[in-house]
Amino acid sequence: MQEIKPRVSVYYAQNAVVVTIADEKILEDEDIKALEDSIMPLIDGPVNLVIDFTNVRFLSSAVLGLLIRISKKTNEHKGKLKLCGIGPRIFEIFKITRLNEIFDIYDDPKKAMLSLK
């Protein structure tokens, strides 16, 4: 049986749903689709969503498109999206594409959750 990727863990904090991506690489279309299928159902109302990229070292540009779709859906449901744990290499991609100006990015989940208060 083929392993389903990317693996994520989800936990419900006091004021947010925290999604931690377990995989180091999110490059293949099926990985991105699996990530979308894991996150989108969590946005079924006004939810504060924190996505933790601490484990991620490589991602494709299609992941950036997914993050934009997640942000749009979160905003439509009157929720908030925070990103955290983005390493320097990936953060450079965010800067080049100016997505660092669109997304709220924090060092770790704790800081991201504190920003929601």
Residue 6, pLDDT > 90, answer: no
Inter-residue contact 21 to 53 (CB < 8 Å): yes
36-75 pLDDT, tens digit per residue, is 999 999 999 999 999 999 999 999 999 999 999 999 999 9
* 65 neighbors 99 (Cβ within 8 angstroms): no
Tens-digit pLDDT profile for residues 12-36: 988 899 999 999 999 999 999 999 9
Tokens 């863990």 -> residue:
9
- Give the separation between CA 107 and CA 84, rounded to whole angstroms: 5
* pTM for the model: 0.93
Bin 3: left if φ > 0, else alpha if -120 < ψ < 50, else beta.
beta
Residue 75 CB contacts under 8 Å (≥ 6 apart), including other chains:
81
- The DSSP symbol for 115 reads T
Residue 4: pLDDT above 60?
no
pLDDT band at 117 (very low <50, low <70, confident <90, very high): confident
CATH numbers and ranges of domains, the chain:
8-13+20-114 (3.30.750.24)
